[in-house]
Chain A
Amino acid sequence: MLNLITNEWLKIFKRTGTYVMIGLIIIGVIGMGAIQKIYLDKDKQNDNWKTELSAQVQNDEKSLKGMPKIARSEIQQQIDINKYRIDHNIPPQEKKTMYSFINDSSELITFAGLFTIIIAAGIVASEFGWGTIKLLLIRPIKRSKILLSKYATVILFGVLMTAILFVSSALIGLILFGTGNGSNIHLVYANGHVVEQSMLWYLVKKFLLSSIDVLMLATMAFMISAVFRNSSLAIGISIFLLVMGSNVTLLLSVKFDWAKYILFANTNLMQYVDGSPMIKGMTLGFSITMLFIYFIIFHILAFAVFTKRDVAA
């Protein structure tokens, strides 16, 4: 099994495209760092932050009354967090630090996801395209094992891409902004209370949880690739859903309760760490169950078709 994964890994890393992907991620991080350094970096910590914050809290409380229900909870959280800052003397981090930069660069996970999807979409389909599938499947190895090794390779690749993003943004953040003055406490809103969290732990958690929709979409792309043997189709559908999926689900969720069964209502597990769920009544357990069901369905489809199919290409 390890040998099979080695094989797949080599096939990915002997192609130049892979290095272009890694380069793009690093360039993306550098670009973001440069823009933040030039336009957003404030050198001085504001001394009057307490009065400014309380003014903001009053402002927010006023506007809260005139708001529709769905928009309210977010503002309410903001008010609570700001009050907590005033009460516990935790100034908001206005100066950019390595941590805040890593936090910002988690937006680029979509990029890492995009590349993982491209690999996932190609890993089975291109063997058919190259014709090498015929030499691959006449070995004394079960087809399911070959497919499993390919999936494992996709996951490893996704992990590598995310790690590259995390490490490069940490390094560039450190070089450009430093580690800040030490008060790197992250405030989150959980179960109606404001809670303090270690920044680093928060960031690791954020990266891991943000990778879940990438994982699910890569799994879906992999399934499409194995079932239809067509990488363009797999890439197209997956990227479309990566970009549009959660927005469409959000719109649907306003009108329909069944929207909570859609994959994308559940992929963002950050909603349970950082705020409140998209649709009332959803819990972490529910989302994990739904993700698990989708995951199993994708794999059953991929394995059933791949192991049974006649190879005529």
Chain B
Amino acid sequence: MKPAVELKNVTKVIKGKKIIDNLSFTINEGEVFGFLGPNGAGKTTTIRMIVGLMGISSGEIIICGNSITKNHDQALRNVGGIVENPEMYKFLTGYQNLMQYARMIKGITKEKIDEVVKLVGLTDRIHDKVKTYSLGMRQRLGLAQSLLHDPKVMILDEPTNGLDPAGIREIRDHLRILSKERGMAVIVSSHLLSEMEMMCDRIAIIQKGKLIDVQQVHDFVADDVNKYFIEIDSTNLNSVPNLTNIAFDLHENGIEVEVEKEKVPDVIKHLVENGVRIYGVKAVSKSLEDRFLEVTGKEEVANA
């Protein structure tokens, strides 16, 4: 896998305060990379530094072999994106907006514009003024402008903000296609954790400007499931504590036990033998949200 974006010891100091502290990670071609962190952690600042909207106090950001500070034009030639909300010229039509951006880079043909418009599904409304667009349509137009020049790196800040479930699904599918079929590196930031879980291949968590963890989403979410929920008749609930020596949490209509997989049958057998009626057993996987709070929460305590 070739690296598309590299951050090397990136630090940003604003008015003597370290907003971003020594951040280093690499984003590869063909992957969707999630950027996660609580509000004020420095997600947007980092993204703004990657696209050259903000200067870098020390360190370096390399996009497709070009430093964003030294080779600004060549580096940004490979980048498309939306930073925060897709703000467009409201007094222009969608098409005129796209023309604005098409004129800024050589070699964007009319056919390319039409192709992109079709891809994001705006063909019917593209000649209407942007002020008549819904937020979802603006988001699509934003996506369209970022795709005009076939970038190798795509940067989306909160891409599903304000979209309905169908729209979210659509964006997710677009991102999959872009990364898997065209080999784009996609950088996504979001506070919707479940979203990230479905969209991303890898996730970086930052907090207070520091990188806390970079992990594969798969590992991150699925690592060592060892909690099981056992549904029990509520009348039997009170008698359960006397029956087992395994730690568990009492719930309204069942218990949650923390055991290794091999021991699950033993637990069930033990319960059944003691006359507890069992209606169902399921594995409780940790959601990304749990993990996220776990990881960032720990840090909070450590700092306190």
Q: A: which residues have CB within 8 A of B?
A: 3-4, 6-7, 10-11, 14-15, 130-132, 134-135, 137-142, 308, 310-312
Q: In the complex the two chains form, is B54's CB within 8 Å of A310's CB?
A: yes
CA gap between A134 and B142 in the complex, in Å: 12
Q: In the complex the two chains form, is B103's CB within 8 Å of A311's CB?
A: no
Q: In the complex the two chains form, is A140's CB within 8 Å of B73's CB?
A: yes
* With A3-B103, A311-B54: A14-B73 Cβ-Cβ less than 8 Å: no
* With A131-B87, A132-B87, A311-B53: A138-B81 Cβ-Cβ less than 8 Å: yes
Cβ of B145 within 8 Å of any chain A Cβ, yes or no, is: yes
Chain B hits for A140, CB < 8 A: 72-77, 104-105
Q: In the complex the two chains form, is A132's CB within 8 Å of B89's CB?
A: yes
Chain A hits for B103, CB < 8 A: 3-4, 6-7
Q: In the complex the two chains form, is A14's CB within 8 Å of B74's CB?
A: no
CA gap between A134 and B44 in the complex, in Å: 12
Q: Which residue of A lies closest to B74 (CB)?
A: A140
Q: Which residue of A lies closest to B103 (CB)?
A: A3
Q: Which residues of B in the span 61-100 have a Cβ within 8 Å of any Cβ on A?
A: 72-77, 79, 81-92, 96, 100
* With A135-B145, A140-B77: A4-B104 Cβ-Cβ less than 8 Å: yes
CA gap between A135 and B101 in the complex, in Å: 9
Q: Smallest CB–CB gap between A304 and chain B, Å?
A: 14
Cβ of B52 within 8 Å of any chain A Cβ, yes or no, is: yes
Chain A hits for B73, CB < 8 A: 140-142
Cβ of B113 within 8 Å of any chain A Cβ, yes or no, is: no
Q: B: which residues have CB within 8 A of A?
A: 14, 48, 51-55, 72-77, 79, 81-92, 96, 100-101, 103-105, 142, 145
Closest 10 CB pairs of A and B: A131-B87, A3-B103, A140-B77, A311-B53, A140-B76, A310-B54, A140-B73, A138-B51, A134-B83, A139-B104
CA gap between A130 and B73 in the complex, in Å: 24
Query: Among A10, A11, A134, A142, which residue has its beta carbon within 8 angstroms of that of B53?
Result: A134
Q: In the complex the two chains form, is B105's CB within 8 Å of A137's CB?
A: no
Q: Smallest CB–CB gap between A91 and chain B, Å?
A: 54
Q: In the complex the two chains form, is B91's CB within 8 Å of A15's CB?
A: yes
Among B83, B84, B92, B142: residue with most chain A CB under 10 A: B83
Among B14, B54, B103, B142: residue with most chain A CB under 10 A: B103
Chain A hits for B83, CB < 8 A: 134-135, 138
Chain B hits for A142, CB < 8 A: 72-73
CA gap between A140 and B87 in the complex, in Å: 19
Q: In the complex the two chains form, is A132's CB within 8 Å of B88's CB?
A: yes
Given contacts A132-B87, A138-B81, 16 further A-B contacts (CB under 8 A): A10-B92, A14-B92, A130-B89, A131-B84, A132-B88, A134-B87, A135-B88, A135-B142, A135-B145, A140-B73, A140-B77, A310-B55, A311-B48, A311-B53, A312-B48, A312-B53
CA gap between A17 and B105 in the complex, in Å: 29
CA gap between A15 and B89 in the complex, in Å: 11
Q: In the complex the two chains form, is B76's CB within 8 Å of A138's CB?
A: yes
CA gap between A306 and B228 in the complex, in Å: 59
CA gap between A212 and B175 in the complex, in Å: 53
Among A4, A131, A134, A142: residue with most chain B CB under 10 A: A134
Can you give 10 contacting A-B residue pairs, CB < 8 Å?
A: A10-B92, A10-B100, A11-B89, A15-B91, A135-B88, A135-B101, A140-B105, A308-B55, A310-B53, A312-B53
Chain B hits for A308, CB < 8 A: 55
Chain A hits for B74, CB < 8 A: 140
CA gap between A10 and B105 in the complex, in Å: 17
Q: In the complex the two chains form, is A3's CB within 8 Å of B89's CB?
A: no
CA gap between A102 and B89 in the complex, in Å: 38
* With A3-B104, A141-B104: A135-B54 Cβ-Cβ less than 8 Å: no
Q: Smallest CB–CB gap between B112 and chain A, Å?
A: 16
Chain A hits for B55, CB < 8 A: 308, 310
Query: Among B53, B72, B100, which residue has its beta carbon within 8 angstroms of that of A7?
Result: B100
Q: Smallest CB–CB gap between A89 and chain B, Å?
A: 59
Q: In the complex the two chains form, is B104's CB within 8 Å of A10's CB?
A: no
Q: In the complex the two chains form, is A139's CB within 8 Å of B76's CB?
A: yes
Chain A hits for B52, CB < 8 A: 137-138
* With A140-B74, A141-B73: A131-B85 Cβ-Cβ less than 8 Å: yes
Q: Which residue of B lies closest to A145 (CB)?
A: B73
Chain B hits for A311, CB < 8 A: 48, 53-54
CA gap between A139 and B54 in the complex, in Å: 14
CA gap between A76 and B89 in the complex, in Å: 58
Chain B hits for A131, CB < 8 A: 84-85, 87
Chain A hits for B104, CB < 8 A: 3-4, 7, 139-141
